[in-house]
Amino acid sequence: MYVVEVSAEFNSAHNLIGYKGKCEALHGHNWKVKVSVRSDDLDEVGMVVDFKILKQRLNNVIDKLDHKYLNDLEYFNKTNPTSENIARYIYESMSEDAASPNVASVTVWETDSASATYSRAVIS
Ligand SMILES: [Zn+2]
């Protein structure tokens, strides 16, 4: 099994509805994102996927989040923009692209020491 990962960062604001604490109020984060792609096989060049292509696809998704108030985005109208749900949004957005390689998981860091990961279900 090969695992290929790319990461990116973005800045945005959010507030968490129904959360009793500081994060209920409007505030911002420098989010870090890591996307993992897994494959048992390599292409004829010896790659799972070209890093350049994977980064471009991640950046296309990040562009929709960067310097935005996340609660204003349609996806987060009814879904709290927690790190967990942002990870799922990025996962789903990258998986929508039919040409995109199979994304195995997306991890979002809200701070250097706090992250959330969304991954496809493990089939045993
Ligand atoms: Zn926050």
Q: Which two tokens stand for residue 54?
A: 């994977």
Q: What is the pLDDT along the chain (124 residues), one digit of tens a residue?
A: 999 999 999 999 999 998 988 888 999 999 999 999 999 999 999 999 999 999 999 999 999 999 999 999 999 998 999 999 999 999 999 988 766 668 999 999 999 999 999 998 665 5
Strands 27-39 and 103-111: antiparallel
- How many Å lie between the centroid of ligand 1 and the Cα of residue 37? 27
Q: What are 123's strand-pairing partners?
A: none
What are the extents of the domains in the chain?
A: 2-119
- How many Å lie between the centroid of ligand 1 and the Cα of residue 7? 20
Q: Residue 79: its pLDDT value, please?
A: 94
The residues that are catalytic are 23, 67, 110
Q: pLDDT (tens digit, 9 = 90+) per residue, 29-58?
A: 999 999 999 999 999 999 999 999 999 999
Per-residue DSSP letters for the chain? Answer: -EEEEEEEEEEEEE--TT--SGGGS-EEEEEEEEEEEEES---TTS-SS-HHHHHHHHHHHHTTTTTSBGGGSGGGSSS---HHHHHHHHHHHHHH-TTS--EEEEEEEEETTEEEEEEPPPP-
Q: Residue 23: its pLDDT value, please?
A: 84
- How many Å lie between the centroid of ligand 1 and the Cα of residue 94? 23
Please provide the size of the chain in residues: 124
Q: Residue 21: its pLDDT value, please?
A: 86
Q: Residue 32: its pLDDT value, please?
A: 98
Q: Residue 95: its pLDDT value, please?
A: 85
- How many Å lie between the centroid of ligand 1 and the Cα of residue 11? 11
Specify the CATH superfamily of domain 2-119: 6-pyruvoyl tetrahydropterin synthase/QueD (3.30.479.10)
